[in-house]
Amino acid sequence: MIPCMYPEILTIGPITLHTFGAMMGLGFLVGANLTGRELARRGMDEEWASNILVAAAVGGIAGSKLWAVFNEWDSFLAAPITTFFSGAGFVWYGGLIGGALAVTLIFRHYGIPWLRGADCMAPGLVLGQAIGRIGCHLAGDGDWGIVTDAPWGVAYTRAIIGWPYAEGVLVHPTPLYEAFAYTVIFVILWALRKRLTSDGMIFAVYLLMAPAARFAIEFVRINPPVFAGLTQAQLFSLALVASGGILLAFGRSRALAPPSGGQEPAAAQR
């Protein structure tokens, strides 16, 4: 059995350092570092990454929480402050939307083409997701899987939201499944970043792979189906994968198109 660690690292008076919050912060810092390196490699100012980080963090956390609030509206009405500021209840696709909106403002401020900026962020984003999912596992924030008898099953007895099962019951450690998948995707994106040079291509691969991984893992998570046997996360993942496919096809068509003016590239002339 894979152990679940502690949801809290330390408490000093009224201040508690939550494991998930610490891992989330680490994920943002790692993502900002990698984004800065990519900005510099593409001829932009590496220092812009710090402001991009702040925008992504604020927008991502707000979007994630707002989506969770809408999903748990009754709980929010019963205890709005406790629900909104708790260490649990973060929804990844809400965070993706909120972060994208906030980062768009920063891109416009610095004059960064959106797809180019998204390419710079994609490797750090997916590695940050991997680190964040490790935080989910350590804290036990409720995004575990269905009951299993697999030898790697987990009992989240110290879960931050409470453990609803009897002693001896194990579940799939789906946060670790996602962390592994996102780490593999990071390795792939990092290897491709110098080969796929058209703006938007690295981000397109991210949209194809990361949501596809979530879609697959969702089959062993506890989220209920909402339409055609699929969960809300799976439906959103399909939309993101479709967006990635369209973006990739568009980028390839631009790369194959002749230069403006109707002239073929010199290498293609005979």
Q: In 3-state terms, what secondary structure has residue 132?
A: helix
Q: Enumerate residues 6+ apart whose C-beta is below 8 A from 172.
A: 144, 145, 146, 148, 150, 153, 154, 220, 221
Strand partners, 231: 225
Q: Write down the pLDDT at residue 68.
A: 66
Q: In 3-state terms, what secondary structure has residue 160?
A: coil
Q: pLDDT of 63-97, one tens digit each?
A: 777 766 666 656 655 555 555 555 544 566 677 78
Q: pLDDT of 59-71, one tens digit each?
A: 877 877 776 666 6
Q: pLDDT of 165-180, one tens digit each?
A: 998 899 999 999 999 9
- Structural domain spans, the chain: 8-186
What is the identity of the amino acid at 215?
F
